[in-house]
Amino acid sequence: MTETKPETESPGLRPGRIGKEEPGRSSQGLIDLAEKYGARNYHPLPLVISSAKGVWVRNPEGKRYMDMLSSYSALNQGHRHPVIMKALAAQAKRVTLTSRAFHTDQIGPFLKEVCELTGFDMALAMNSGAEAVETAVKMARKWGCMKRGLGPEKAEIIACANNFHGRTVTIVSFSSDEQYRRDFGPYTPGFKLIGFGDAEELRAAITPDTVAFLVEPIQCEAGILIPPAGYFRQVREICAKAGILLMLDEIQTGLGRTGRMFAFEHEGIRPDVLILGKALGGGVLPISVTLAGAEVMGVFKPGDHGSTFGANPLACAVARAAMKVLRDEKLDERSRRLGEAFLAKLRTIKSPHVKEMRGRGLIIGIELNPEAGGARRFCERLMALGMLCKETHEHVIRLAPPLVITERELDWAFKRIKKVLEMTK
């Protein structure tokens, strides 16, 4: 196959050879293996990634693609960032896992650094984002019982329709997406759904049994839905007045993605609980964290919650390097500057297929008209031109490149997006 190249090459656009391919395996052969032996719980685009560096990936045949998905914002620092890979290798030579039965020389420094980065008193580290959300749910319920005096089985949590907080049985219990719920019942009780972006609906939904409001600053999986300006200032006031916890799920929006280190900073507020994951692991290892003040986090006692791999020394070392890269390279500022310019440029595209373009920082959604025939076919055509992105909720193309992307690389991506949107019939 012929390698896809930018029209004008530069040293910054030449990743070179970025890894060894699977010996003796073609892309189609590897896809066939996955289809034969794997559960059909994903519908990936028909390509194989065998090596990666920065914003670029290659398939086994050597064809290069630009990654405009970033593993749903887990790769904010890009593929295999050298600082993060160095930390991974150094720690892997020392110790990788002990369980929380013992202290390690990485967990204390990691917890201190993540608390300093976020401004919270205490943190509890797990592995996946869903585990961190489960941690927040358990913590809020226990806080309601211990600090608010609610009886057993009384604590209620409010969430928003069209949310995406994970896929555990408890989390899909408060999903409004029928596919996420279908045939997985019985569901966990104690949740109430309201509309996203309507502060007065939140106010009306609060009862004496309400302990928390769990919400995403931007609903990424729902199609990059951004609430009205001032919404979170109202939400913050309502939660404070009602004495309930405002819990923000920034697993996708946090750590520079929206042009601020955290999306809640856009409205100058602070939540009571912050949930992080994805980019905290630097695109290398899963690690997540739930953060809160000492009074809230203090409800946990030994034996209440935990994970064998949670806060393992290898993941903690990687996360420390991942946070260092975010700070040192000012990736939040870079996301704001490049994202604003990129979105403005995308809006110059004239296409009958496009209903709306919206975004904040380097998380952008291109919503297509229903008559366009779905976003997947556009993603497939972009893939053929050497650019990888993914549809979300059928009619939205999600664009979320690594935050280390350059202006020239974004120009390269823009030409392909414009071509596909203006020419696809």
| C-alpha span between 202 and 209 (Å, rounded) | 14
Residues 144 and 50 in one domain: no
Residue 7: pLDDT above 70? no
Domain membership of residue 156 (yes or no) is yes
309 included as an active-site residue: no
SS3 8: coil
Q: Check which CATH number belongs to the domain holding 239 and give it.
A: 3.40.640.10
Residues 250 and 322 in one domain: yes
Which backbone phi and psi does 335 adopt, to 5 degrees? -60, -40
Q: How confident is the model over 235-268, as pLDDT tens digits?
A: 999 999 999 999 999 999 999 999 999 999 999 9
Last residue of a domain, one of 303, 328, 353: 328
Structure confidence at residue 23 as a pLDDT band (50, 70, 90): low
| C-alpha span between 157 and 244 (Å, rounded) | 9
Q: What mean pLDDT comes out for the span 178-197?
A: 96
Whether the Cβ atoms of residue 317 and residue 287 lie closer than 8 Å to each other: no
Residues 108 and 174 in one domain: yes
| C-alpha span between 255 and 243 (Å, rounded) | 28
Q: How confident is the model over 119-138, as pLDDT tens digits?
A: 999 999 999 999 999 999 99
Residues 212 and 304 in one domain: yes
Structure tokens at 34: 């996955």
Find residue 87's DSSP bridge partners: none
- CB neighbourhood size of 198 (10 A): 17
Q: How confident is the model over 51-106, as pLDDT tens digits?
A: 999 999 999 999 999 999 999 999 999 999 999 999 999 999 999 999 999 999 99
Last residue of a domain, one of 267, 298, 328: 328
Domain membership of residue 75 (yes or no) is no
Whether the Cβ atoms of residue 289 and residue 123 lie closer than 8 Å to each other: yes
Domain membership of residue 99 (yes or no) is yes
| Annotated catalytic residue, options 53, 142, 278, 390 | 278
SS3 400: coil
300 included as an active-site residue: no
Where are the alpha helices (H) located in 119-230, listed in sequence order? 129-147, 169-172, 178-181, 199-205
Write the DSSP string, 256-288: TTTSSSSGGGGGT---SEEEE-GGGGTTTS--E
Residues 361 and 375 in one domain: yes
How many structural domains compose the chain?
A: 2
Structure confidence at residue 232 as a pLDDT band (50, 70, 90): very high
Q: Check which CATH number belongs to the domain holding 22 and give it.
A: 3.90.1150.10
Structure confidence at residue 396 as a pLDDT band (50, 70, 90): very high
| C-alpha span between 200 and 71 (Å, rounded) | 35
Domain membership of residue 73 (yes or no) is no
Last residue of a domain, one of 280, 313, 328: 328
Residues 120 and 43 in one domain: no
Domain membership of residue 74 (yes or no) is no
| Annotated catalytic residue, options 249, 342, 378, 390 | 249
For the entire predicted model, the pTM comes to 0.94
28-65 burial: b if 16+ Cβ within 10 Å, else e: eebeeeeeeeeeeeeeeeebbbbbbbbbbbbbbeeebb
| C-alpha span between 61 and 48 (Å, rounded) | 9
Q: What pLDDT shows up at residue 20?
A: 52
| Annotated catalytic residue, options 53, 120, 142, 164 | 164
Whether the Cβ atoms of residue 362 and residue 400 lie closer than 8 Å to each other: yes
| C-alpha span between 280 and 369 (Å, rounded) | 35
Handedness of CA 272, 273, 278, 280 (dihedral sign): positive
Range of the structural domain that residue 414 is part of: 11-67+331-423
For tokens 């939660």, the residue is: 239
Handedness of CA 324, 325, 328, 334 (dihedral sign): negative
- CB neighbourhood size of 386 (10 A): 18
Q: What is the Cα 150 distance to its own chain's centre?
A: 33
Domain membership of residue 286 (yes or no) is yes
| C-alpha span between 383 and 280 (Å, rounded) | 28
164 included as an active-site residue: yes
Domain membership of residue 115 (yes or no) is yes
Residues in the chain: 425
Which backbone phi and psi does 354 adopt, to 5 degrees? -90, 125
For tokens 């690389």, the residue is: 409
